[in-house]
């Protein structure tokens, strides 16, 4: 995990840029998969939360739920805690998912672009943790790049491959469902930048026929606007986006790079 830790400690700039500019992959996953979080959920776990964008949107949309958000990188968790320090029902914690999961039981466990970063040899143990930590009738909600997208990246943009970046397909999702005694209630390819480049999957423990509380209520979640995200980055991280862009004609990307450089001293 050392290589992954070093890699993700350097990932902050990219995730801040995704947040400010509104990355389509992340927006799509939060909006669409958020619909599978039942309104009455008491506890939600967001694994591999990065700088906490999805965790914040879930905490905002489900004010009666406690959202626990974890990530391998202490750098990302520190930024998440600064950026989203205004929700009482949201807690960020550094945690390596290959060490098991924080001891608790959850109604929903969300993983947005994270499952593919689990080494193949660790998958079974991880499934055991999910099984232990997911409530009877709980849901595991996933977004991952498709095997088609992984093949494309390997061929056309190999530098875009992360330290651990495994293929995930229907067989993988089905195996998770078997290992956690759940059932696949959704498996769907998405077209974010290219057709079939991402997949969404939801696995439910003991699906209950006709249960009204599991019906989709939020269709889809309403996220912060670009203006609100810019203001948040300015006020919580001190990146002067508007002022600098106007006076020095600097791009958002350059400003974020400058912030990261300054932070590192």
- Told to check if 134 binds ligand SAM by CB under 6 A, we report no
Those residues whose C-beta lies under 8 Å from the C-beta of residue 174, and which sit 6 or more positions away, are 184
With respect to ligand SAM, which residue has the nearer C-beta, 3 or 208?
3
**Please, which residue, 49 or 90, has the CB nearer to ligand SAM?**
49
Q: Which of 20, 37, 67, 112 is the binder for ligand SAM (CB under 6 A)?
A: 112
Q: Peptide bond preceding 67: is omega within 30 degrees of 0, i.e. cis? A: no
Q: Please identify, using beta-carbon distances, which residue of 54 and 133 lies nearer to ligand SAM.
A: 54
Residue with tokens 């929903």: 108
Which two tokens mark 188? 């769907």
Stretch that binds ligand SAM, among 47-55, 151-159, 189-197, 250-258 (CB under 6 A): 47-55
Question: Which C-beta is closer to ligand SAM: that of 114 or that of 180?
Answer: 114
- Does 57 participate in binding ligand SAM (rule CB under 6 A)? no
Q: Is 34 in the site for ligand SAM (CB under 6 A)?
A: no
Taking CA atoms, 105 is separated from 43, 44, 60, 138, 184, in Å, by 7, 9, 21, 9, 20
CB of 248 to ligand SAM, least distance (A): 28
Beta strand spans in the chain (E): 43-47, 66-71, 90-94, 106-112, 134-145, 182-191, 195-205
Query: Which among 71-79, 130-138, 150-158, 173-181 is the span making contact with ligand SAM, rule CB under 6 A?
Result: 71-79
Rounded least distance, CB 215 to ligand SAM, Å: 26
Binding residue for ligand SAM (CB under 6 A) from 27, 44, 59, 76? Answer: 76
Instruction: Tell me the DSSP string of 21-77.
Output: HT-HHHHHHHHHHHTTS-TT-SEEEEET-TTSHHHHHHHHH-TTSEEEEEES-HHHH
What is the closest distance, in whole angstroms, from the C-beta atom of residue 226 to ligand SAM in the complex? 16
Rg of the chain taking only CA atoms, in angstroms: 18
CA 64 to chain centre: 20
Q: By CB under 6 A, name the one of 42, 81, 89, 98 that touches ligand SAM.
A: 98
Window 198 to 227, contacts with ligand SAM (CB under 6 A):
none
Q: Is 48 in the site for ligand SAM (CB under 6 A)?
A: yes
Distance CA 168, CA 126 (A): 15
Q: Reduced to 3 states, what is the DSSP secondary structure of residue 100?
A: strand
CB of 5 to ligand SAM, least distance (A): 8
In the bound state with ligand SAM, the residue whose beta carbon lies nearer, of 71 and 197, is 71
Determine if 73 is a binding residue for ligand SAM (CB under 6 A): yes
Answer for which of 3, 86, 96, 213 binds ligand SAM (CB under 6 A) is 96
């Amino acid at each position: 995990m050392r290589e992954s830790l070093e890699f993700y400690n350097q990932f902050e700039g990219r995730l801040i840029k995704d947040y400010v500019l509104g990355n389509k992959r992340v927006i799509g996953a939060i909006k669409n998969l958020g619909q599978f979080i039942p309104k009455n959920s008491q506890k939600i776990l967001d694994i591999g939360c990065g700088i906490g964008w999805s965790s914040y949107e879930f905490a905002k949309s489900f004010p009666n739920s406690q959202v626990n958000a974890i990530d391998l990188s202490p750098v990302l968790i520190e930024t998440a805690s600064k950026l989203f320090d205004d929700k009482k029902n949201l807690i960020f914690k550094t945690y390596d998912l290959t060490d098991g999961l924080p001891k608790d039981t959850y109604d929903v466990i969300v993983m947005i672009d994270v499952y593919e970063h689990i080494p193949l040899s660790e998958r079974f143990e991880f499934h055991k943790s999910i099984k232990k930590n997911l409530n009877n009738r709980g849901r595991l909600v996933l977004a991952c790049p498709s095997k088609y997208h992984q093949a494309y990246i390997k061929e056309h943009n190999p530098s875009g491959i992360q330290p651990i970046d495994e293929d995930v397909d229907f067989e993988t999702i089905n195996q998770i469902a078997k290992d956690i005694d759940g059932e696949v209630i959704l498996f769907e390819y998405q077209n974010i930048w290219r057709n079939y480049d991402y997949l969404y999957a939801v696995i439910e423990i003991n699906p209950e026929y006709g249960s009204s509380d599991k019906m989709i209520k939020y269709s889809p979640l309403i996220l912060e606007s670009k203006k609100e995200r810019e203001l948040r980055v300015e006020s919580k991280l001190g990146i002067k986006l508007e002022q600098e862009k106007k006076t020095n004609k600097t791009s958002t990307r350059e400003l974020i790079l400058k912030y990261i450089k300054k932070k590192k001293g």
